[in-house]
Amino acid sequence: MSHFATLRDAWRHRPTHNRVWALAAPMILSNLSVPLVALVDSAVVGHLPHAHQLAAVAIGGSLYTLLTWAVGFLRMGTTGFAAQASGRADGSALRQVLSQGLLLGGGLAIVLIALALPFSQLALGLMQPSAALDELASQYFQIRLFGLPAALATYALIGWLLGTQNARGPLAILLTTNLLNVGLDLLFVLGLDWGVAGAAWASVIAEWSGALLGLALALRSLRAYPGQIDRSALRRWQNWRPLLAVNRDIFIRTLALQSVFFLITVQGTRLGDTTVAANALLLNGLLLTAHALDGLAHAVEALCGHALGARDRLALRRNLLVAGAWSLLASLAFALFFLFAGSAFIALQTNIPSVRATAASYLPYLAALPLIAVWSYLLDGLFIGATRAREMRDAMLIALLLALPLGWLMRPLGNHGLWLAFLLFMSLRSATLGVYAYRLTRRDRWFQEPAP
């Protein structure tokens, strides 16, 4: 069968479209609900009388987000193993993956809390805030730490539920967490006049409620997979090595990716305040695109992982081609939106004429970005589903090492050089992942266990 005929066969397979969107649509909604918590905290505390109260929530929230971001690999690391176990209909393995994810989240929470207290004091010392701001930011951050075990457990639970092709579960968890946070924010901060501490306790209670709901949903899902947890297996190191190796490699890969955004911010700062502001507004466009395309990538993780576990080559090909085609169509829609309505998108975010004008001159780069980045999102989903995090890590590091010297050479071009370097990095990221995927396909190794 020719490549065109294969694509046509996959596109005409209606059940695959239904499975892709049954997972992608709830995950897109889940992703878009995430920024709501910080937005609501800021909006509610912003109605208090003093500016340092809002600043305390912004600073304390940023420190807490840094901690939770650092262990975001728990979600991705759990999805692939759960998807493959689900594909094998192996209830015992599903129970082991869930237990390992929750235990790992609990252990990391203890370590991070122990490190967070001195870390927060050091970070606040570097910022040199006023005495009032320092006290409130520390108070907010320390209260939020009570919710850290729940936040990490939720990462593992969302990853596990997604791996079992249950996308409504993560949506229910995130909507419950966020809506409860909104209600408690209003009650504690404005109703009971608890101030900044009220905003922190609202988030803690919401996080624990989301985690308990996730645990209940996971236990209910397990009824469809008969089996028993082998407690002795949880005490053997060799049974932890695959999960820890995948999480380690995803963590390194994420650090490399975040270093790129950090370098963009640093280099942009040297180009002036207006340029920094304009770049921040444009990168919000990337954030919007990533939230939507990640929903389709999550569907790829679950469906391709399930197909690999079931050793179903036809399903693997259909899932990848259908999700890939929808991802390409979505990225094209975003590209056209930024190209023809980008000025309106910028105007919604700021009314400062100089920032609007600066951002408008770089809109073509933003329009090109979805068409370039879509391939890396899609391939990330495939590699996560296959639990091949080592290839993801190596592809990211290669792209970074190749892009850095080229970005250095483009510095004389100013902000145009910065955006060209970023587009080049995203292209290299997609290309290196594509090379790894091609090699695995040519050698027929997708259905083999990843090398230790």
Q: How many domains does the chain have?
A: 2
154-189 residue pLDDT tens: 999 999 999 999 989 999 998 899 889 889 988 998
Looking from the CA of 331 toward its CB, the CA atoms found within 13 Å total: 23
d(CA 324, CA 297): 9
Alpha helices in 34-72 (DSSP H): 36-45, 51-70
| Amino acid letter, residue 310 | A
Instruction: Identify the CA nearest to 112 among candidates 147, 78, 144, 148.
Output: 148
pLDDT, residue 33, reads 67
pLDDT, residue 42, reads 63
Range name among 204-218, 260-274, 393-407 with the lowest pLDDT average: 260-274
d(CA 34, CA 61): 14
Instruction: Identify the CA nearest to 377 among candidates 285, 291, 264.
Output: 291
Helix (H) or strand (E) holding 237: none
User: Is the confidence at residue 2, as pLDDT, over 70?
Assistant: no
| Cβ neighbours around 317 below 10 Å, total | 17
Contacts of 103 (CB under 8 A, 6+ apart): 234
Of the chain, the end-to-end C-alpha distance in Å amounts to 35
Instruction: Identify the CA nearest to 249 among candidates 394, 106, 433.
Output: 394
Q: What is the mean pLDDT of residues 236-250?
A: 89
R_g (Cα) of the chain, nearest Å: 22
Same domain for 232 and 293? no
Residue 104 located in a structural domain:
yes
| Amino acid letter, residue 22 | A
Same domain for 155 and 69? yes
Same domain for 385 and 278? yes
Residue 402 located in a structural domain:
yes
d(CA 250, CA 72): 9
115-125 residue pLDDT tens: 888 877 776 66
pLDDT, residue 124, reads 67
Residue 246 located in a structural domain:
no
Structure confidence at residue 35 as a pLDDT band (50, 70, 90): low
| pTM, 2 dp | 0.84
Same domain for 304 and 369? yes
396-436 residue pLDDT tens: 999 999 999 988 899 889 889 999 999 999 999 999 999 99
Same domain for 157 and 232? yes
With vertex at residue 403, the alpha carbon angle to CA 399 and CA 408, rounded to the nearest 5 degrees, is: 160
356-395 residue pLDDT tens: 898 899 999 999 999 999 999 999 999 999 999 999 999 9
Residue 245 located in a structural domain:
no
pLDDT, residue 277, reads 77
Same domain for 288 and 422? yes
Same domain for 414 and 334? yes
Average pLDDT over the chain, rounded to whole? 86
Same domain for 62 and 97? yes
User: Is the confidence at residue 314, as pLDDT, over 80?
Assistant: yes
What is 246-274 written as a DSSP string?
HHHHHHHHHHHHHHHHHHHHHHHHTT-HH
CB 108 within 8 A of CB 156: no
Same domain for 108 and 211? yes
Range name among 68-77, 127-136, 208-217, 238-247 with the lowest pLDDT average: 127-136
CB 188 within 8 A of CB 198: yes
Owning domain of residue 292: 266-442
334-343 residue pLDDT tens: 999 999 998 9
Structure confidence at residue 47 as a pLDDT band (50, 70, 90): low
Q: Which of 13-27, 119-133, 231-245, 381-395 has the highest mean pLDDT?
A: 381-395
Helix axes 51-70, 36-45, angle to 10 degrees: 160
pLDDT, residue 64, reads 82
pLDDT, residue 323, reads 92
User: Is the confidence at residue 40, as pLDDT, over 70?
Assistant: no
Range name among 42-46, 65-69, 299-303, 402-406 with the lowest pLDDT average: 42-46
